[in-house]
Chain A
Amino acid sequence: MNWIIAIIQTLLFVALAPLLAGWLKWCKCRLQNRRAPSLFQPYKDLIKLSSKQPVVAEHASWIFTRSPYIIFSAMVLAASVVPFIAVDLPTSASADVIVLVGLFGFARFFLALAGLDIGTAFGGMGSSREMTVSSLAEPAMLMAVFTLSMAASTTNLSVAITHVLEQDLVLRPSFVFALLALILVAVAETGRIPIDNPTTHLELTMIHEAMILEYSGRHLALIELASQLKLMLYGVLIANIFFPWGIAESFTPEALGYGLLAILGKLALLAIILGISETVVAKMRLFRVQEYLSFAYLLGLLGMLSHIILEASR
């Protein structure tokens, strides 16, 4: 029974990821005084892409053609281990947060390889930039995650969330720092403004998009869906770790329904905040990204220090 719920939760996660992207786009359009496309536009785009024949470069190797499947699978796997509607599901016991970071790294490795594989200048440029950004983002993310792990004495997400739920609402400085660090990392890792601009057509400024310029058809659909999953994963992580209230702790239909509504509300709110921030800031110069991510790392470190100094003895 629990396994069925876990599978349904994962399917729901994948099914809802384009909706989050559509909602974010809708918010941004409204903030920019534009008429927004339908909330379901991302679904329509994915269907359109998947019905088209992919065009593959003459010199592409198996890496290029298999990478979309590998990346997508890694993201679905990641989605299955993150508590979305309920905690204590069997899938979340099988992997912890370090595995999650590992899955992100695995997907990114293949994405960067695929960017290099076809041998265009843009692909190589994008891969180089992606690796630069991620090599700075990963330590910052781990630092934030470790703060959480130390507080809950576990690296398992489900257990950590239960731990947060068991305590009453207390303002912990370590969590505030970790939250800020994770938000900065999430923006960088999901290729949002001010690090990357997902809607640009300017090849020379791209990071994520530069790597996937040569993709088309169902390959592109898988990669797009994987990016939408990644955005949702970070959103769910932020929402459920730091604001877990509402998540289902038992598997009754009411609790699960309430859990679904709660996470949808939290994600919707997060998307509005992201939309506002993307409207009021311009993209950074590329060489400022290291300062930005060093700051994220610093926040993570401060979170850990404040945990050790202020909270650990209790």
Chain B
Amino acid sequence: MPERRTAVPVTFDGEDFEAYDDESVLQAARRNGIAIPALCYLEGLSVWGGCRVCVVEVAEDHRLRPACATPVKADMEIKVHTPRLDSYRKSILELLFAEGNHVCAVCVSNGRCELQDTAVEVGMDHVRYDQQAPARKVDASHAKYVFDHNRCILCTRCVRVCDEIEGAHVWDIAERGAGSEIIAEMDVPWGDAKSCTWCGKCVAACPTGSLFYHGKAVGEMEHSADIIRVLASARGKGEWLSPEVSL
């Protein structure tokens, strides 16, 4: 028998909801149908807390907290939308778009991209900041997949899914700050990475057009990040893949 979860009352933007006391604010919100944008969070993986798009305001001290990493407490008053939060989220999205080379019109994920969707969700219609236009590499050395670092937002979903679900730990972060990049093994071309099992979970988890299959043209690449949640929950229950899910 699974343990009973305790339901506690919370409010989102002044409306009453019930949350479980073992949930994060983000989980409670999503279960109740409240949209909080998030990029690095993926159900089934450990919490990273790096994108900061999911910040919410908690009434007790008005400090901003990442919804993904904040445990629910009874009678928590959570604000998802305030003028400040909405403007901050928009700014963070603009910062991300200015940091990499995100040109939707020529991207394999155009129209099927979490970064793009989140930008629309928060109402980002232009970028105020200087485009950094970094000269990043495109790693097409793998026979099945491509890693275009220009579109990487360093959410580390690929790093975590490979380590935590597949158990291969091909990916890691190298360098720091604005120079941070995802590397395969000890910075070898992906195609030379002996630890890669070709499972494709990193590709499935990617929120942008950074990881994709060879041969995909503009707008053709569809990621299936939800598969990670299914895999993680199946593993948690001691089951394996449900028949209707395929990679």
A and B from one assembly? no
Chain B contact residues, CB within 8 Å of chain A: none
Chain A contact residues, CB within 8 Å of chain B: none
